[in-house]
Structure 1
């Protein structure tokens, strides 16, 4: 099961590479051309690094990129932009102009996510902790260590571990998120309890059993004095006529030997909010369809429409309505 979950990272990374290749990403923002160029450069460098260290993994990514459909590219675009905006809002709230107060991000199940590279360069007092399975960390650390571009962005690694990457502001280390004692030990070692903390989980909680995911949330919320948890996950749907979740579960079992134990438990935005101890007063949840309709500017919608022909609008709405972005805060 762990191996199957690990390999979902290849899906996520291939989706991002596809969205970049088709120009969905990065989002076009006037005056941000340099950052947009760096975004593309970093992801292409990582893809080439993946090819060097694991041809098997690279071939999976390459095949997925070739077969990516417009609805998938839309979903990847919205997932990336919505999470980026949520992180930016958190940093804007806690990083004051000229202030030297530290702030930190803990990325659970980080996989091939490269947000840390640009975020660390943009926010001088930010610290970033990436956690994932041992095998995933070993792969990512090799790619980061073997490319001068990442060395320049992150600084040379000081890690003496067999798998990991460590600088004074960035740490990539292995962790079993089901092992709460290990999680607590790592948080204590690499982060600060009274520092404003953003916790990020992208398609992580959905692969954990209910008791284990609740224990993880309790551990983290009780460890940090103040924080915000940003979680991106699928939901199964709570309407009796809604077959999305059951079909998704069947497809994952048959094709990937994957289980999503809580897909039909936290199967609506309201139920998903119950994952967090802050619910409902400090928890907000938006589906990706709501985000697309309400938060993507009209000119950006027009730009997206020019990239690929998309006639499955109803299918797009169904899919995006079953993915949510949750934001839970405590202090």
Structure 2
């Protein structure tokens, strides 16, 4: 229960900037509004978008002191009078805190709008769920809303070993697609364990040729997690009616061969999960929960930090030296 002092440990910033701006200290336990739920945090994770928000690269409302963190798995502590469907003691999760003025997840307690909160399936460990929530929702929105992926189609994923890439492999396979992915040599076995049909070395100078051999009829959905977006290479490998998913590469300014795009009836589909509607997130949550309950949605945890070491957790992701997700626990 919330202590008598009504304060909590939290990781927050008073201004935007580098990881050194992150402070860990005591803040008041937030009050749950009429349609809010107060949740005690049991696990969270660091996402690249968290770095962008903290640094100011992704501009959004950040009322200071601003608690950082997007994802949260925990237990309901209290509910507002207008909340139905949640009760104290329920295990729950959310993946849309720390944005658009919503305080984040890196705190002992967090307030979550009931429309952005979902029940955690029985038997799922918070430390297993937290690392997949943001990436899996991103994969679902990209594959379903943007790409309209159909069974039997071929998906190419550049960077299948990362968080979003790994989730996209798993969701695409669950939707009946064939998956080809480019990865580092060290990630090939991991991606095959997730269901990838073909894994290729992204350093291979003949990568484009080998993608063509793996998808001789053309790629239906092209998903590039690298943010490089080399359309001069990509577009000739697409099937007619293909969809290219763009959700990385904020500073990229690639050349776009327009003729190769429109003569294939292809589409460039850009999206940011931070803009997802409550309905989008709820649809993704239903699929995520189903896969979590089956044990068929997994991730790799490369490092685990305590809440008190939140700055180190951000630095670990920024360094690029951690293979796997960065988990944060109280």
TM-score range, shorter chain: 0.3 to 0.5
TM-score, scaled to structure 2? 0.35
- Which structure carries more strand by proportion? 2
TM-score, scaled to structure 1? 0.34
- Which structure carries more helix by proportion? 1
Q: Decide which structure has the larger Cα Rg and report it.
A: 2
